[in-house]
């Protein structure tokens, strides 16, 4: 690969200008034109697209219990750590994004679809 080019799967790291919320709290935000939701599970931040993989409605008004997020529309559940469906009617994995600490803040990895 020529110098300066990224592989299709390598994320572009983007600083997120908001603090990680307290454990059990969901925080919607937007970065790079994407609606995302930040979840704090026992002090660890997880980010996923703020769209139910079943209906497309926002997940951010849902309820987080441990690592399981319940869709506010139909009650389906998924694991925020990797997007795996936990309870129907969600059957497809939710899209998650990588997170990392960066100095005093944190960053989310945006992977371009292609």
- pLDDT tens for 40-64 read 999 899 999 999 999 999 999 999 9
Question: Does residue 82 fall inside a structural domain?
Answer: yes
Question: Does residue 29 fall inside a structural domain?
Answer: yes
Q: How far apart are CA 77 and CA 86, in angstroms?
A: 5
State the average pLDDT over residues 76-97: 96
Whole-model pTM: value is 0.86
Smallest Cα–Cα separation from 47: which of 37, 32, 58, 33? 37
Average pLDDT of the chain is: 90
Q: Taking the CA atoms of the chain, what radius of gyration do you get in angstroms?
A: 14
Domains contained in the chain, number? 1
Residue 39 has phi, psi (to 5 degrees) of: -120, 135
Question: Does residue 14 fall inside a structural domain?
Answer: no
Question: Does residue 86 fall inside a structural domain?
Answer: yes
Q: What is the Cβ-side half-sphere exposure of residue 55, based on CA atoms within 13 angstroms?
A: 13
Using the structure block, give the residue that is written with the tokens 């769209």: 51
Question: Does residue 49 fall inside a structural domain?
Answer: yes
Decide if pLDDT at 109 tops 80: yes
**What is residue 114's predicted lDDT score, i.e. its pLDDT?**
57
CATH of the domain at 95: 2.102.10.10
Question: Using one digit for the tens of pLDDT, what is the confidence trace for 4-26?
Answer: 444 557 899 999 988 988 998 99
Q: How far apart are CA 25 and CA 93, in angstroms?
A: 21
Domain membership of residue 42 as a residue range: 19-102
């Amino acid at each position: 690969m020529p110098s300066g080019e990224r592989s299709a799967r390598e994320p572009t790291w983007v600083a997120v200008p908001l603090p990680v919320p307290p454990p059990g709290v969901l925080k919607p935000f937007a970065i790079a034109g994407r609606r995302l939701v930040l979840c704090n599970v026992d002090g660890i931040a997880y980010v996923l697209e703020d769209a139910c993989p079943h209906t497309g409605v926002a997940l951010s008004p849902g309820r987080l219990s441990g690592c399981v997020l319940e869709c506010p529309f139909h009650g389906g559940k998924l694991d925020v750590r990797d997007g795996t469906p936990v309870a129907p009617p969600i059957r497809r994995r939710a899209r998650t994004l990588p997170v990392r600490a960066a100095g005093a803040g944190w960053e989310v990895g945006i992977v371009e679809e292609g």
